[in-house]
């Protein structure tokens, strides 16, 4: 689970967890990458929630079945979530029609949070050819210097293959007892 602790403020440090909440918190705090008008802010929140509940969720499930599931269990999941991921790309394609970025002319937290799941589409077996607006947007975001630095960050530490048995236990054997600390870990 992504989390940050903001020590740069008055009073106690502020912990924030989950991608969308972190993006919104930082945009609010800095006054950057989020529209100032109520309608624009509403749209930014809609796309943050869309990424969290649709695009990110479906892409994450597809990634699991492509990268982690044993072959004898992967077929149904790959098919199911590839279709859902494709549907999400269609939603994004339609949204980007006639727009430079998700919210219009300005790059925002909506682009920041949605883009990584499009970046890895090819690795998950999804062609972007049917989605010219998404393809154009993907490239425009990728060319931003700060995005390039972010993509390069940690390149040396990326996984090069399937997880080990021990890593699988950490990744996939979590329970309520793990989350509450009652499992002794």
Is there a domain that residue 8 lies in? no
In 3D space, the residue among 109, 96, 95, 120 whose CA is nearest the CA of residue 44 turns out to be 109
Per-residue pLDDT tens over the stretch 51-97: 999 999 899 999 888 888 887 888 889 999 999 999 999 999 999 99
* Domain assignment present for 127: yes
Q: Would residue 81 count as lying in a domain? A: yes
Cβ proximity of 115 and 135 under 8 Å: no
Number of domains composing the chain? 1
Q: Which residue range is the domain that position 67 belongs to? A: 36-154
Residue 9 lies in a domain: no
Token couple for 69: 């599931």
More confident residue, 171 or 135: 135
Residue 99 lies in a domain: yes
If pLDDT is split at 50, 70 and 90, which confidence band does 175 have?
Answer: confident
Angstrom distance (rounded) from CA 60 to CA 63? 5
Asked, for residue 184, whether it belongs to a domain, the answer is: no
CATH of the domain at 105: 1.20.1050.10
């Amino acid at each position: 689970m992504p989390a940050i602790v903001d020590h740069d403020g008055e009073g106690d440090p502020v912990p924030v967890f989950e991608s969308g909440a972190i993006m919104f918190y930082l945009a609010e705090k800095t006054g950057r990458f989020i529209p100032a008008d109520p309608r624009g802010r509403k749209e930014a929140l809609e796309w943050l929630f869309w990424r969290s509940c649709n695009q990110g969720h479906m892409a994450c499930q597809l990634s699991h079945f492509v990268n982690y599931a044993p072959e004898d269990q992967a077929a149904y999941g790959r098919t199911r979530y590839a279709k859902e991921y494709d549907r999400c790309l269609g939603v994004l394609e339609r949204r980007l029609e006639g727009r430079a970025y998700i919210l219009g002319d300005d790059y925002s937290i909506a682009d920041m949070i949605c883009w990584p799941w499009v970046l890895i589409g090819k690795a998950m077996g999804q062609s972007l050819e049917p989605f010219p607006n998404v393809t154009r947007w993907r490239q425009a975001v990728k060319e931003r210097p700060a995005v390039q630095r972010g993509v390069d960050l940690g390149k040396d530490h990326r996984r090069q293959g399937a997880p080990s048995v021990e890593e699988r236990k950490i990744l996939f054997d979590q329970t309520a007892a793990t989350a509450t600390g009652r499992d002794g870990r």
